[in-house]
Structure 1
Amino acid sequence: MTEAPVRPVAPGDLARRASLRYLNLFRLFIAALFLFFGRTVIGLGNEAPVFFVVVALAYFVTVLALGFPDAVRRLGFDRLVTVQMVVDIVALVLMMHASGGARGGLPTLLMVLLAGGGLVGQGRWVLFYAALATVAVLTENGVRTLTGHEAPEFFAVGMVCIGFFGVALMARYLASRALANEALAEARGADLVQQRTINERIIEDMPDGVLVLDEDLRVLQFNPQAERLLGRTLGPGGHLVDAVPVLAARLAEAAGEGASGEVIVDDRGTIEYRVVPPVAAGGGTIVYLQDLEEIQAQAQQIKLAALGRLTAGIAHEIRNPLTAVSHAAELLREEKRAEGQIRLTRIINDNAQRIEQLVRDVLSLGRRDRAMLEALPLQAFVRDFLDEFTLHGEAEKAQVSMDIPDGITLAFDRAHLHQILWNLLANARRYASERPGAIAVRASRDDGLTRLEVIDDGPGIAPEHRTQLFEPFFTTHAKGTGLGLYIARELAEANRASLRLLDTERGAHFCLTGPSQP
């Protein structure tokens, strides 16, 4: 025989059942108090002692019987609550009649029980409980009046009955709010658990290692990738000094937001770490770990792909001037006038120089990985460079101004920096005006970084060209190769520096930023 499936109890019903248990304990205490101490200690039932004892005994037995858990299964929860409230009202009104009417504290006790009924009852049943109590108390008071017994004024009894409705409705309203808040809290808790589970799964599947450390560098959380990169078995609560002392020492030295660096862990290679500040107070510091060799391998793959595209572009770019050279040479053999020979010779020379510049740029790109960094004194270096760059008179020298304080250094390969400055100043001279100071070269130092800036007063760079500026073979000049700025940025990255185009009101503003010391 197949049993009927048990319907799960809703969270709101669980709260009501818990409230009913506490209310039944209170009922049992009151019933026992009436039965054993109602006549002797409290002084109730003075008008009908025997009747009072019989009612108190019946009330005690009924409360005890209806309080067993089996009663919910037999009667149903809502029906059981209604039966209990009816028993409470009838028993208290009968004991009230035996004790002199509504003058004592029994009406107040009845309000307390109505409040309990409002907490565990549902819907309009709460109004039914208050109405039943009101009818019962008014009937008792009317019977006392008709039988000649001393009775309170109906106005006072009516105020008590109004209190029945007020207490019952207020209790029901508060219970509804409490149940709604409890359901909302449970739903939010379930969403939070689900979100936490998702976050933990994402962190576990991340290709980067993740460590969460407290202020004392104790491990709060970690993912499997962190253990793989460090070659250690990490445990929650363990100290990082015991597991990876070299990494703990680096983190202690470079404490602060955004700290980063590289560390060698045994023979597993170089690990790059990056510290992220905590998202909340006491949330722990997050450390991201990456295998530097894997990063370099990925970068190499990207560079190889770019080199393939570059080679294809070079082949295309070389083919055009070579075609022009070949055609000019053919015509030169047929041309007999001296003027034509001069023109064709000039064409050959121009295209040959263009090919030479293109090859020179490509060769410079191939030497980017052989950077030999040294702390270059910028003032002397740029002064010597400008003497070489401006060889065609004082007007050309006056066109470029230099503002570099003494003592500023830049960690850079000498040949690479020379080529970057040559590309930047050649572009600036091409578009700047001829007035003195049209091109400005200045430098500054801030927090261990040196900024070398080249600014001109030319027309600037069109907004639609800014995103393509550092792409290979992009140029707006008829005789340009389109490799100058691309190679300049590649050489800057090879020297752990960055080359950016900054916003300015007029002209072009390039900024080369790198460390002051190697």
Structure 2
Amino acid sequence: MATETPSRSAETLTPAPSTPSGLQQAKLFRIYNHYRLVVSLMLVALLFVDPINFDTRFRLHDYYQAGVSAYLALNAFIALLLVAGFHPSQRHITLSILMDILIMHGLLLTSTGITNGLANLVIVSVAAGNILTPSRMGTFYAALAAICSLGISGWAVLTLGESADDIVRAGSLGILYFAAAFVLQNISRRMMRSEALATSRARSIAELEQINQQIIQRMRTGILVLDRYGHIRLANAAAEELLYGAPKASAPFRDYATVLPKPLKLGLEAWLKDPTRRIEPFQPSSTSPLLQANFTQLDQERGDHILVFIEDMSKVTQQAQQMKLASLGRLTAGIAHEIRNPLGAISHAAQLMEEAPDLEPGDRQMLGIIRRHSRRVNGIIENVLDLSRRRAAHADLIEVGPWLQEFREDFLQTQDEHCTAANIVLKIDPQLPPARFDKSQIEQVMVNLCDNGLRYSEQHSGQRTIGIHAGATDDRERAYIDVRDQGPGIAPENRNSVFEPFFTTDKSGTGLGLYLARELCEANQAHLSLIEDDQPGCCFRITFAHPGRMI
């Protein structure tokens, strides 16, 4: 086990070519090869400086010239491979260092021996080898260089009668080789450990940043980052959906280049003048919910960026209304049978009195009022009980066009009992995106909107006619349905109250129909809104959520 541990640790310190450390190692090898190419060019150039003295001083001049030329050719070939995109592996680097050490000692052998200045270049090769491969292989480079140096010196002393000082010089060079190996190995190991730690921490930071971005994207609170001039720098999906109707299909928390809605722009200007001021709730468009924006400085020292939190006020209002209706539902459920018993007796008595043959017209009119209001009270009880017993939505991915055609046919079949035939003009745009919703719940919403539209159209124009239009939003990713009647429309002072519970302008209505319709839409992540335009009548729009969003 003791002999395996160093090799395993050495392997862990040897990076793969595909890792960041491996890429850094390949880059260092390119630099080292440039150095070798320059050295080999200089050695070839020196052959032409004083060729006569080279012949007298060098031991094997012809072999030296051939070795220098071959060294230049080898380095040039490797340089061309690197330029062509060759990625050297660990064994290529090891082989190159070994060849450098052997070639350099071959040049020392054929030149003037260990006293030649080329011996100093061997130190550079050993140092480079320990930087590129900081393992036991680096020690082998130093040992090989030391053995070669001592071998050349010993051969020169024994065969050429050189001074024994060459052996001492070779031993000194061997000490330098090992010293360079040990020092550089230690430094390289520390650098690689530091790089590995930095890479690990950078990966952790990147993962945390990605998690934070996903959390921010999934938040129901809209988040904007603005500069002091109101330009949007960053926006999450909730902010895009609340302000502009739908999030864009792009990278999370991306750079944004959309103009700030005018109400929010005015609120920002007011807040910049008085940071303690809380702006009023606003609507970016007629189909948007009521929003509340809160501002804060993102950088307290510089104050360059402003962080904006956007809350959907309709959610808070709906929660309060749901609490109120839940209490009312419990109360109604408790006393429903107490109310229905006398209410049924009153209605039955009025029906019996209507059957009397000698009933006066005035009395018959009074009995009609009693029966009509009895039905109204019973309807209020039924609607409140429906609100308190509302089940969760079970959504499916629906093709809106075929579903609307089927709904129109089924709805018209239920209108045969009326003396005036109902007319529904259906328009479906091409390439309509699908929508995800609960058929039964959205059908209940459509029945309520169509009944109201037909009733008000008949009261205003004498014709039971409405129009249904299915289209796509501007981003072509979400579907919507418009229900438009031919009635008198809604007065401007009542537009903000039509979805409130128990609000009605019809004496026979309960004021819960539109409220219940909006609640059912919200349960399906759709939005029911009143469209304000210049066309006659009244138009309600159901805007569905993106089909990729799960309910």
Query: Equivalents in 2 of 1:304, 1:16: separation in Å?
Result: 70
Q: How far 1:309 moved relative to its partner? A: 8.5
Query: Equivalents in 1 of 2:142, 2:226: separation in Å?
Result: 60
Alpha-carbon distance change, 221 to 281 in structure 1, aligned in 2, over 3 angstroms: farther
8 Å contact from structure 2 (residues 264, 282) kept in 1: no
Give the alignment's Cα RMSD to 1 decimal.
4.1
One of 247, 260, 271 as aligned partner of 1:251:
271
Deviation string, structure 1 residues 32-87 (Cα, Å, up to 9, x no partner) = 221232552798783233332122122223334555649x9999833333332222
One of 284, 309, 320 as aligned partner of 1:299:
320
The answer to whether structure 1 residue 264 and structure 2 residue 298 are counterparts is no
Query: Equivalents in 2 of 1:75, 1:213: separation in Å?
Result: 46
In the alignment, which residue of structure 2 is the partner of 1:16?
Answer: 25
Query: Equivalents in 2 of 1:280, 1:150: separation in Å?
Result: 77
The answer to whether structure 1 residue 135 and structure 2 residue 147 are counterparts is yes
Amino acid at match of 2:226: L
8 Å contact from structure 2 (residues 17, 26) kept in 1: no
One of 198, 204, 220 as aligned partner of 2:233:
220
Identity %: 25
8 Å contact from structure 2 (residues 223, 238) kept in 1: yes
Q: Aligned with 1:272: secondary structure?
A: strand
Alpha-carbon distance change, 243 to 293 in structure 1, aligned in 2, over 3 angstroms: closer
Q: How far 1:231 moved relative to its partner? A: 3.9
The answer to whether structure 1 residue 196 and structure 2 residue 216 are counterparts is no
Q: How far 1:144 moved relative to its partner? A: 2.5
Alpha-carbon distance change, 293 to 222 in structure 1, aligned in 2, over 3 angstroms: same
Q: How far 1:310 moved relative to its partner? A: 10
Matches within 5 A, 1:272-421: 272-278=292-298, 284-303=305-324, 305=326
8 Å contact from structure 2 (residues 17, 23) kept in 1: no
Q: Aligned with 1:18: secondary structure?
A: helix
In the alignment, which residue of structure 2 is the partner of 1:179?
Answer: 192
Q: How far 1:8 moved relative to its partner? A: 8.1
The answer to whether structure 1 residue 119 and structure 2 residue 139 are counterparts is no
| Runs of 4+ with deviation above 6 angstroms | 41-45, 72-76, 232-235, 279-283, 306-312
Alpha-carbon distance change, 305 to 74 in structure 1, aligned in 2, over 3 angstroms: closer
Q: Aligned with 1:24: secondary structure?
A: helix
Amino acid at match of 1:252: L
In the alignment, which residue of structure 2 is the partner of 1:414?
Answer: none
Query: Equivalents in 2 of 1:276, 1:248: separation in Å?
Result: 10
Structure 2: gaps of 5 or more residues: 1-15, 249-254, 334-551
One of 141, 150, 163 as aligned partner of 2:176:
163
In the alignment, which residue of structure 2 is the partner of 1:47?
Answer: 58
State TM-score, norm by structure 2: 0.47
Amino acid at match of 2:202: G
Alpha-carbon distance change, 175 to 242 in structure 1, aligned in 2, over 3 angstroms: farther
Q: Aligned with 2:294: secondary structure?
A: strand
8 Å contact from structure 1 (residues 24, 63) kept in 2: yes
Q: How far 1:122 moved relative to its partner? A: 4.9
Matches within 5 A, 1:360-509: none
The answer to whether structure 1 residue 60 and structure 2 residue 80 are counterparts is no
8 Å contact from structure 2 (residues 242, 289) kept in 1: no
Deviation string, structure 1 residues 285-313 (Cα, Å, up to 9, x no partner) = 3211112233122133235556788999x
Deviation string, structure 1 residues 313-342 (Cα, Å, up to 9, x no partner) = xxxxxxxxxxxxxxxxxxxxxxxxxxxxxx
Pairs aligned (count): 306
Please identify, of 299-308 and 288-297, the stretch whose mean Cα deviation from structure 2 is larger: 299-308
In the alignment, which residue of structure 2 is the partner of 1:37?
Answer: 46
8 Å contact from structure 1 (residues 211, 286) kept in 2: yes
8 Å contact from structure 1 (residues 274, 289) kept in 2: yes
Q: How far 1:195 moved relative to its partner? A: 2.8
Amino acid at match of 2:322: Q
8 Å contact from structure 1 (residues 219, 237) kept in 2: yes
Query: Equivalents in 2 of 1:161, 1:243: separation in Å?
Result: 80
Deviation string, structure 1 residues 202-256 (Cα, Å, up to 9, x no partner) = 2222222111123443211112322333347997255648784323323322337
Amino acid at match of 1:214: D
One of 216, 222, 226 as aligned partner of 1:209:
222
8 Å contact from structure 1 (residues 47, 98) kept in 2: yes
Deviation string, structure 1 residues 364-383 (Cα, Å, up to 9, x no partner) = xxxxxxxxxxxxxxxxxxxx
Query: Equivalents in 1 of 2:234, 2:133: separation in Å?
Result: 47
Alpha-carbon distance change, 8 to 88 in structure 1, aligned in 2, over 3 angstroms: closer
Q: Aligned with 1:286: secondary structure?
A: strand
Q: How far 1:106 moved relative to its partner? A: 1.9
Structure 1: gaps of 5 or more residues: 1-6, 313-518
Amino acid at match of 2:240: E
Matches within 5 A, 1:139-150: 139-146=151-158, 147-150=160-163
Matches within 5 A, 1:232-251: 236-237=256-257, 240=260, 244-251=264-271
Alpha-carbon distance change, 239 to 230 in structure 1, aligned in 2, over 3 angstroms: closer
State TM-score, norm by structure 1: 0.50
Please identify, of 205-214 and 75-84, the stretch whose mean Cα deviation from structure 2 is larger: 75-84
8 Å contact from structure 2 (residues 114, 153) kept in 1: yes
Q: How far 1:94 moved relative to its partner? A: 2.7
8 Å contact from structure 1 (residues 115, 171) kept in 2: yes
One of 95, 100, 105 as aligned partner of 1:88:
100
Query: Equivalents in 2 of 1:243, 1:68: separation in Å?
Result: 64
Query: Equivalents in 1 of 2:156, 2:138: separation in Å?
Result: 27
Alpha-carbon distance change, 291 to 87 in structure 1, aligned in 2, over 3 angstroms: closer
Alpha-carbon distance change, 286 to 119 in structure 1, aligned in 2, over 3 angstroms: same
Amino acid at match of 1:81: I
In the alignment, which residue of structure 2 is the partner of 1:457?
Answer: none
The answer to whether structure 1 residue 102 and structure 2 residue 114 are counterparts is yes
Amino acid at match of 1:273: A
Q: Aligned with 1:158: secondary structure?
A: helix
